[in-house]
Structure 1
Amino acid sequence: MYETPMKAISHHRLSRWFVRPQWLWLSRNQLRQLLAALLLWTGIWFVLTFRLPGADGLQVGQPSPLSITAPEEVTFTSDVLTAERRTQAANNPDNLVYFNDPKIPIDQRRNLFTLLETIGRLRNDPTLDEAGRLRALSNLPSADVQLNTDQARLILALDDEEWSLLRTTILNLYDRAIERYDYAIDERALSQLRDRWLSFWLATTSLDTAQRELAQQITSAFLRVNRTLDNTATEERRAKAMAQVEPVEVKVLAGEMIIRAGEIVTPAHIEKLQATGAMPRPLGWSELLGYGLLAAILTAGISGYLHVFQPKLMTHPRALTTLMFSIVVTLLLARLTLLVYNERPIFFPLAVLAVVTTIVFTGQIGFAVSLLAAVVISVMEGNDLTLAATLFASCTSAILLTRQADRLRSFLIAGFGVTATITILETTFWLSQQAIFTLSGFSGWIATTVLSALANGGLTTILTFGLFNVVGRLAGQVTALQLMELAHPSQPLLRKLIREAPGTYYHSVAVGNLAEAAAEAIGADALLLRVAAYYHDIGKTIRPAFFTDNQMGRENVHDDLDPYISAQIIIDHVREGIKMARAAHLPEQIIDFIATHHGTGLVRHFYQLALQRYDHVDERDFRYPGPRPQTREQAILMLADSVEATVRAKAQHGKLIAKRNGDTSERTTPGAVTLDELVQSIIDARVREGELNDAPLTMRELGQIKTVFVNNLQSIYHPRVDYAPSLVRT
């Protein structure tokens, strides 16, 4: 019995050697490190080879990657320029020939007059009753106009004077339309008359709305195109005009600039390059191989450094991939900059990579990647080691001055440091290369150098401040500075919250205070929680008056709404908040807080109202979409939000007491609870409903959170004591 081909292959020893990855003797993590190294190697090789044009050459409509001059003097007949001039000659408006038929508007007016006369006779026909007149008007012999029943009734309802006015208006309207275009109406004129002029002219008459519509319909129906393009004669004129254009001769001098870097490539450029033999050629195999080997050496060097001195980074594939990707993107931007800029590119902000890497990872990694990028850029610029030294020195000063980057001034100081470093080093190199020093030459050079250094420093400050959050997010990190910036009241969403929903804003601040204190008690991320608390209710700014935070003593608008509608409005603040947060590009961690701060909880008040009003109520219509909290921080925010709102409501209604008397027979305020009881009941309810099932909170941590909540709220509300009733002695 024969084995199937696939089965036979699976039994062969070589198949196991090729199919199973064990022959590589690599773990999963080592394989990811290898892939990250391959990404960097490929990126460096690509940017190095991209310096020269590829096999496809220049592309029409795209910027030229380099400047090209003519190698020799050439004179040739330009087919491109000749075709352009012939096209221009053919498109001259004088070549258009039109045919006018003056009989059409005259015949149409005669037909219009006949139709109006027919309508007039039918109005006064003594042989027809009203129904017969309606039928006759609805079936007029004219193919141009078909009146409906309402229009026929309108005509019959007019007295003789009104009909005469309508008839005269229609004829005058037709005459005015024809005269406006001098009895020569083309498609464009007809469209303008029907869409604009007829209704404009009728608006100045004394007719009512129905009569104007009838007059416009009848007039418009008889307007016809009588001016058309004579295609045959027009084509003959165009062909004659093109034939009269002589071929264009072009002379290109040796050394003449054919195209500059960054200039948009046109067919004329391509024709010149082909005629002069200056069209870029593809890379040779030796160049490709040399750049590939250099890229491999640099990749091996940075990978070895990270493996020996930064082993923790090597165990985090997401962070490692983000680092390699950042290097490749920076080098690609440098490559594009060098292609479109012919001068010394000291303005390129390589320090952005250094500072961002330092903030997101470490300063040691920042130094390493800066050195790597500086070497690659110097190779792109023709092995210019002085350029590499300048760029690496600027990165070094930026890294040393940025430090922890916990304030905006750190980025400003780094930018000034970059500017100063580039200026000093470039001045040093320039002076060392000058055989004769002249003040005029130095002043002109230093002005350009300082401007380039200022551009580098400014770009470093701006781009670093804007990009380190992006890189941190890609690496799976949220930086403290990003959270601090988001917490500032000048943020657009927070300003909108303060301005349009001030009650919700103060509620969010109070929730932030509670959540931050609870996070510090259990060792959670307090800053993240405070920022999340500020943004968790931004969806309420869509309909602020529908939330009790912002009603401020006014009547509750929900009293007049159906419970289903009210519940959806309340629930939608979560969905709207997510949309607003994504539109504002808030971090995903903050958006997750917005989505989970109510979990899948029930809008209980309106659910109860619905049960009282309707026989069948689906509980799912009154639940938040979720999901439930997934982290400790999200769970704390849910509890802080519920506790703050509930305690404030109880305090406002006088149902919050400091403590209970031991004698239960004594009088107490109906529904009054102590702060401790209220907080405990809220936490118990969330646990009982399963809202905290997915959050890694322990019962001990819940107890600590409750204690923090009670202590903080106790100092805010100062609830009154439920005094015992006075005893009257007899």
Structure 2
Amino acid sequence: MRRNTPFYTYIKRLKKFRFYHIIVYALLGLIMFALMYSNVTPENLQLSIGDKADRNLRAPQFTIDTEKTEEKRNEAAGAVEHVYVLDEEKAVQQVERIHIIIDSVETTKQEVAKLGEQEVLNEEGEIEIQQVDIPLEEQMAILQEKLTSKLPSDWRRDIQEEDLITLLNADFNQLSVLRNATITAVHNAMQQEILTVADRDDARKSFETEMRITSIPGDSENSIRNVGINIGKIAIIPNKFYDSKATQDERQAAKDAVEPVEIATGQLLVKEGETITRELHRQLEVAGLLNTNKSIFSYVGLALLIAIMLASLVYLFNGKEISSHNKNSYLTMYLIIFTITLLIMKVISLFQQFENAAQIGFIAPVAMGAMLTKMLINERTAVITSIIFGICGSIIYNEFPGTLNYSLGIYLLVSSVAGVLFLSQHNRRSTILQAGMFISLINVGMIISLLAIKNTNFFMMNGLLNLGTNITMAVGSGVVAAVLTIGLLPFFEAGFGMLSTMKLLELSNPNHPLLRKILMETPGTYHHSVMVANLAESACEAVGANGLLARVASYYHDIGKTKRPNYFIENQMGRENPHDKLPPQTSKNIIVAHATDGAEILRQHNMPKEIIDIAAEHHGTSLLKFFYHKAKEQNSEVEEQEYRYPGPKAQSKEAAIVGTADSIEAAVRSLNNPTPERIETIVKAIIKDRIQDEQYSECDITFKELELISQSFCETLQGIFHSRIEYPEAANKKVEGK
């Protein structure tokens, strides 16, 4: 597109519009809503009881049949019988009352004996104690008084007076035997569950049977034993009672145990040609297929989902500390990438209506959009975009309106993320096709895993055919995504100036905020960076690498030193070196941090990835020899690995050249008399040292190229540090000033 055309001028002005980003977000939302609108529109049928279904009718969504559920729960509650509880305390209570009766009789007998004692004179005139009989009525009165205060009224009513008289006439030994026998027999009988009158009568019979075999000394007529039987029968009462609360709890538990009657998504409700009965009509209504009201809930839900996805994009793009113009350019580019990807997905989904094409979505090259976003914007946005593609895909490829195709959504998400991750390691145009093959491999793995999760039998003919078809589409998805990425990438690079020559020249402008930051805060580092830029650019041009990229990257490669400028010798300006007072480990941490700090600063300012990488890689994993030897003097057990930069090593020729130029410039600058011979010695020594240290092992640079680079460095340095002619006037002044 010609940059002086009216259309281009209009677009350029539009991108400078204050609310341009709002327009882009609105367009993104409208595009997503328009392409997914039909996938959430509920289907409404006009069917009455008695009609015949013209096709198979399936539930469009998961639903709980509340009416059927409540009916089953009521049936379960009605099947629960009354709950009765056994009161074990009843036996203890009744035994205690038998104790009270016997204890009262014994106490009465003791009191009567004391009352019957009288003093009389015998024939010798001495006083003797004689026992006088106490009337039975008086004895009974004493006993009744004791029982009245200790026994309930029903017991006093049921105990016969004759039985009490018999007990009063029994001796203490007989009462003891009777007590033990009666209590034991009552306790045994009350161990039974006594609920009804029949249960009570059975317990009394077993009690009486046990008492009949009891023998009481001196009770020849068994009158005392019969008293025990009479009292025991009174003691045996029901010990099992109806528990209304427990019954209600059991019925509620039975209700809760009933699983809700579910209508699953895609469940076949009515077969083609089947007559609509009242029950089928009710199920169709519950499933929402007969709802003639134009509900807007599905559209509101879709709009809310789109709003959430847009909010994540707004957060991402607002977090970039770039100018409004650049941000609008990124947004425009993102809008185009996203729209193309979503349109491809929608077009492919139209083929789902054909027979045996339900899984056609597996061929969608969604990874294309993620890879373009990764290469043209950044990895973080690409990952979020992958998630959005997965969500949109689960809606676009759903089988029924309002449902989500989770399997396909996960597949598209993983496919997109796979492309992003591969390009994170190999962000070069030549590896895009390799990324496509990697995506195809991941897609195949996802297909197998998803089918296995669904318990597909791969050894049956249908399962094998389905597997082969899906794998073919999975491989095609990765390959097509790579081809489309390769085809579209140049248009975006040219149309949006992604790391073009103009972009690099813009970044090399001394008025750039970051370059001004380096100049103002670390003037020594700025001068050092300019010198490194001269060396790196010449060396790159000597071996056919991108010299402009190396120059611009050199300007920014030490920006991490702006965090702690005084700890780097070129910024100390003759001041005291703070490292003299620090332990070597602390000094090492400060020096090493400038590479990672610099990469982070550049990343925060949305600088091109190539420049960020060079800032992070320019020291590789090289050794800080000064602090290492200093630490070694203090502790001989110090490991060399502790005093190395964390890396990574240089991944490109430009990174390797900038890193080497950085070391050489610092070394030559420290020379008092940088002659050509000394310069050449230092250059070759540093390159040799980096070769031996394997700092070039991860980039595609050859020994021949290193030789050319070495020559370029020497020529450039000799031009910078060439000998100057001393003019006579200057020499005379120097003599006079001695």
In which range does the TM-score fall when normalised by the shorter chain?
A: 0.3 to 0.5
TM-score of the superposed pair, with normalisation by structure 1: 0.34
Q: Rg: which structure is higher?
A: 2
TM-score of the superposed pair, with normalisation by structure 2: 0.34
